[in-house]
Amino acid sequence: MTPPRNSSATRDIATAMHPYTDARAHEANGPMIITRGEGVRVWDDQGRSYIDTVAGLWCAALGFSNERLVQAATAQMRKLPFYHAFTSKSHEPLIDLSEMLVERAPVPMSKAFFCNSGSEANDTAVKMIWYYNNAVGRPQKKKIISRVKGYHGVTVASASLTGLPANHKLFDLPIAGVFHTTTPHYYHEGRPGESEEEFATRCASDLEELILREGPETVAAMFMEPVMGAGGVIVPPKTYYEKIQAVLKKYDVLIVADEVICGFGRTGEYWGCTTFGIEPDILTCAKALSSSFLPISGVLVNDKVYQGLADGSHTIGTFGHGYTYSGHPVSAAVAVETLKIYDEMDIVGHVKKVAPLMQAGIQKLASHPLVGDARGVGLIGAIELVEDKAAKKNFDPARKIAARAQKLCEAEGLIMRILPGDGIAFSPPLVINEEEVALMMNGVTNALDKLAVELRREGFTVV
């Protein structure tokens, strides 16, 4: 139906270009306009309410309303609405947040540096790695490894690290010096008769072969999400990180943990690194850092990396990197209050209490005739829709089966996030309760049942 003249939808189509959107389809169909939020729910301009099952973009950890964060922003806006962190300037919110992050880090870290998004944080980490190796006399050690289906952002450098076709095609990416190794997705990548541990060994072997092929003296770092988010919510197989890290340490390759999605309780521990035993040299975080009430991200570096950066800056006379809004006082104040709320409510304890119900619901969906794989940990998970369960065969992408499921979920009062390969993600606000989890899982089940009926009518064999 054509939107009324001068409606919000018509004005949007006329003037706004949207991220991660088919622009031509948007011109034809228009936007869903969200007008307000409360708790785990948001409302559209037609008055319909939805449980947002992916917390916006994996990020609204405290949901879509929190008066303490509003007050923290308001108070800081009145006191000092802006100041920068260039040339040794600082302010209390930046100092407080730096202390809090270093204290909460999963392994000893030395310093925190602030950016505005996860993409910027990972882009900054790349520059730090290059700068560090130049400063310590290893100018040839610059190549960076990430993983096929990994997601690290959309700047030129971070999108190069991202291992998804849509982030490379037509953008002339990835840039030189970025390489992608095996996706640790046992469901699709594991060979017949291969155990999870054997698959993890093969992943580590693939990584080592890549490093040796390129030359260990040229490989600087590897970026890794503890759980791979936008690439499919891929939970690593048993012993994977133990074996991967052994290879990286053997060849003096820095470990960068991208905690943009996993950090602050999502996996059932404060950090995904803790859940999976990752010991990073650099850690990036964003999203739940401020519960996404305001843009802010962080890069934590250990003392080894910091000393190299500091020596380099002393040689040149400055560390020539930073953003106007690095550690913006209002964003930092909101992040400080967010971390205080996590502590007071015991966010990790709450996730541990609620997550088993969600994970049980996800595993129950594994028996649905359309679901090939169901996976997750903590309050993050996914199901993967397949045409043939026995063969693990996905539907033809042109059929957009997951997009159809997404629309049916919206009719059930759920906003879902679809993933490459007909995946459907679950990553609700961390404050979700047991009743809301049950509503979410029931709604998805109803939507899949309706989709199965539709596909049978279209001639698919759905058993």
Q: pLDDT tens, 54-66? A: 999 999 999 999 9
Place of tokens 């030359």: 215
List Cβ neighbours of 81 (8 Å cut-off, separation of 6 or more): 329, 330
Q: Which pairing describes strands 380-385 and 423-426: parallel, antiparallel, or unpaired?
A: antiparallel
Show the 3-state SS of 181-220: ECCCCHHHHCCCCCCHHHHHHHHHHHHHHHHHHHCHHHEE
Query: Are 149 and 163 contacting, i.e. CB atoms less than 8 angstroms apart?
Result: yes
The answer, yes or no, to whether residue 454 has pLDDT greater than 90, is: yes
Distance CA 2, CA 13 (A): 11
Q: Is the pLDDT of residue 8 over 90?
A: yes
pLDDT in tens, 181-228: 999 999 999 999 999 999 999 999 999 999 999 999 999 999 999 999
Phi, psi for 168 (deg, rounded to 5): -115, -40
Per-residue model confidence (pLDDT) at position 96: 98
Over the stretch 132-189, which tens digit does the pLDDT of each residue have? 999 999 999 999 999 999 999 999 999 999 999 999 999 999 999 999 999 999 999 9
Q: What's the pLDDT tens digit per position in 290-316?
A: 999 999 999 999 999 999 999 999 999
Residue 6: is its pLDDT beyond 90?
Answer: no
Mean pLDDT along residues 235-243: 98
pLDDT (tens digit per residue) in 191-204: 999 999 999 999 99
Which tens digits make up the pLDDT trace of 95-137? 999 999 999 999 999 999 999 999 999 999 999 999 999 999 9
User: Parallel, antiparallel, or unpaired for β 414-415 and 297-301?
Assistant: unpaired
Encoded tokens for 193: 């008769």
Beta bridge partners of 51: 41, 414
| Strand order across the 254-258 sheet | 111-115, 297-301, 282-285, 254-258, 219-224, 143-147, 178-181
Residue 416 Cα to chain centre, angstroms: 15
Comparing 264-273, 296-305, 450-459, the range with the smallest average pLDDT is: 450-459
Cα separation values, 27 from 12, 21, 124, 216, Å: 9, 10, 35, 49
Token code pair at residue 179:
């390489």
What CATH number belongs to 68-345? Answer: 3.40.640.10
**459 has a pLDDT exceeding 90:** no
Here the tokens at position 93 are 């919110």
pLDDT of residue 461: 80
Q: What confidence score (pLDDT) does residue 73 get?
A: 98
pLDDT over 70 at 5, yes or no: no
What are the sequence ranges of the domains in the chain? Answer: 32-65+347-457, 68-345
Is the pTM of the predicted complex or chain greater than 0.85? yes
Q: How many whole angstroms separate alpha carbon 63 and alpha carbon 85? A: 30
More confident residue, 1 or 333: 333
Closest C-alpha among 253, 261, 310, 309 to residue 279: 253
Average pLDDT over the chain, rounded to an integer: 97
State the residue for tokens 């690593």: 236
What pLDDT does residue 463 have?
A: 64
pLDDT category at 91 given cuts 50, 70, 90 is: very high
Q: What is the CATH number of domain 32-65+347-457?
A: 3.90.1150.10
Indicate the pLDDT class of residue 4, thresholds 50, 70 and 90. Answer: low
Reading the block at residue 412, the tokens are 């059930």
pLDDT digits (tens, 9 = 90+) for 30-89: 999 999 999 999 999 999 999 999 999 999 999 999 999 999 999 999 999 999 999 999
- Which residues, at least 6 apart from 340, have a Cβ–Cβ distance to it below 8 Å? none
Q: Are strands 380-385 and 143-147 parallel, antiparallel or unpaired?
A: unpaired
Cβ neighbour number for residue 81 with a 10 Å cutoff: 11
Q: In this model, does residue 326 exceed pLDDT 70?
A: yes
Q: What is the pLDDT of residues 397-429, one digit of tens each?
A: 999 999 999 999 999 999 999 999 999 999 999
Query: What is the reported pLDDT for 2?
Result: 57
- Average pLDDT estimate for 254-278: 98
- CB–CB of 32/12 below 8 Å? no
